[in-house]
Amino acid sequence: MRLFLGSLGLGALREFLGGAREVLYVPTAANPMADKSSAEESRKALAALGYRVVELDIEGIDKSELSPLASVDAVFVEGGSPFFLLQAMRESGFDEAVTEAVQNGLAYVGMSAGAVVAGPDLEPLAATSNTALGPRLRSTQALGFVDAVVFPHHNSPDRAVEFEEARARYGSRFELVPLADTEAMIVDDDGARLVPSELQG
């Protein structure tokens, strides 16, 4: 399993993806957000890095439209609302399809919400994200690619306070990992590690 779980910066992405050429970009988590600037920056950064980007919004689609997963070198799941994203993953069947693809070697890149859903559960993220954006979710159980729940944007003072609140409430049940905008968690055959990953424009 090869995972790049980031907060904002894509500086370490080229080394992680190696010779990848085509990336499936999933912008769905940003759909309910008023500020979509991070998503636009990601698109520009991927293009600047030389990747061919195939975009797939999974909101409102079904399994028959998930075939691009089979023909790309990596999937990039954008940030936004983790609860909205998980709901869309479940309703489209993307959760099962991407899990199978990642288990078969597809590189997974998750930024912010996309990183959060790679963990075991979204429950601790109620401290930082609007749970009402996933009104049809029957469970907050996430993809479970990693055992840890990452907390993006930890360098923000507000997020740092929210993290401490979440750790006090959920720390006995979940491994919680704060993630600054300038770093990413890499998971591969060598294990899991945090690496510098400054924002690339």
The string of pLDDT tens digits covering residues 25-76 is: 999 999 999 888 888 889 999 999 999 999 999 999 999 999 999 999 999 9
* Per-residue pLDDT at 201: 46
- Domain positions in the chain: 3-196
Per-residue confidence band for 199, with pLDDT thresholds at 50, 70 and 90: low
Share of the chain above pLDDT 90, in %: 84
Per-residue confidence band for 127, with pLDDT thresholds at 50, 70 and 90: confident
The string of pLDDT tens digits covering residues 139-161 is: 999 999 999 999 999 988 888 89
* Per-residue pLDDT at 121: 97
Helices 82-92, 94-103: inter-axial angle, 10-degree rounding: 90
**Average of per-residue pLDDT across 77-91:** 97
What kind and span of H or E run contains 54?
strand 52-55
CA–CA dist 58, 138 (Å, integer): 19
For residue 83, pLDDT beyond 80: yes
Show the tokens assigned to 13: 């992405």
* Per-residue pLDDT at 181: 93
* Per-residue pLDDT at 38: 83
The string of pLDDT tens digits covering residues 9-37 is: 999 999 999 889 999 999 999 999 988 88
CA–CA dist 147, 185 (Å, integer): 12
For residue 113, pLDDT beyond 60: yes
Which CATH code is given to the segment(s) 3-196?
3.40.50.880
Mean pLDDT of all residues belonging to the chain: 94
Show the tokens assigned to 145: 């690619």
**pTM of this prediction?**
0.95
**Average of per-residue pLDDT across 176-198:** 94
Check if the beta carbon of residue 112 is closer than 8 Å to that of residue 75: no
